[in-house]
Amino acid sequence: GLTVKATVTFQRWEGDTARFNGEAEFDACDALDSMDDEEIAQVERNEPYALDAVYKTAVRLGQIHDYDGPFEVDLDEDNLSDYLEARRNG
């Protein structure tokens, strides 16, 4: 099966600067599977907040813990390409 490795970097505010506060990894496949085609297109275009939606969906699915501070999400580009190709090919 496919895996889309996602890394979420948790941050905390120090004044106006977001500082590293740990990170975690999760498989984003289930979150991506639950998104509609427009949401997937936003992820593919790397639009602002599109990757945040992947993380928040994974939280709702119980795959990773929620976090109330700032965070950044990164998806493995090769994994994502493989996932998108498989999704397009049904």
The Cα 38–Cα 36 span in angstroms is 6
- Summarised one tens digit per residue, pLDDT across range 62-78 is 999 999 999 999 999 99
Average pLDDT over residues 75-84: 97
Judge if pTM exceeds 0.85.
yes
Average pLDDT over residues 25-32: 98
DSSP state of 89: T
Both ends of the chain: CA-CA distance in Å?
14
Question: DSSP letter string over 27-60?
Answer: E-HHHHHTS-HHHHHHHHTT-TTHHHHHHHHHHH
DSSP state of 64: S
Q: How does residue 80 score in pLDDT terms, banded at 50, 70 and 90?
A: very high
Determine whether 5 is exposed, middle or buried from the number of CB atoms within 10 Å of its CB (0-12, 13-18, 19+).
Answer: middle
Asked if 47 and 63 count as a contact pair (C-beta separation under 8 A), the reply is no
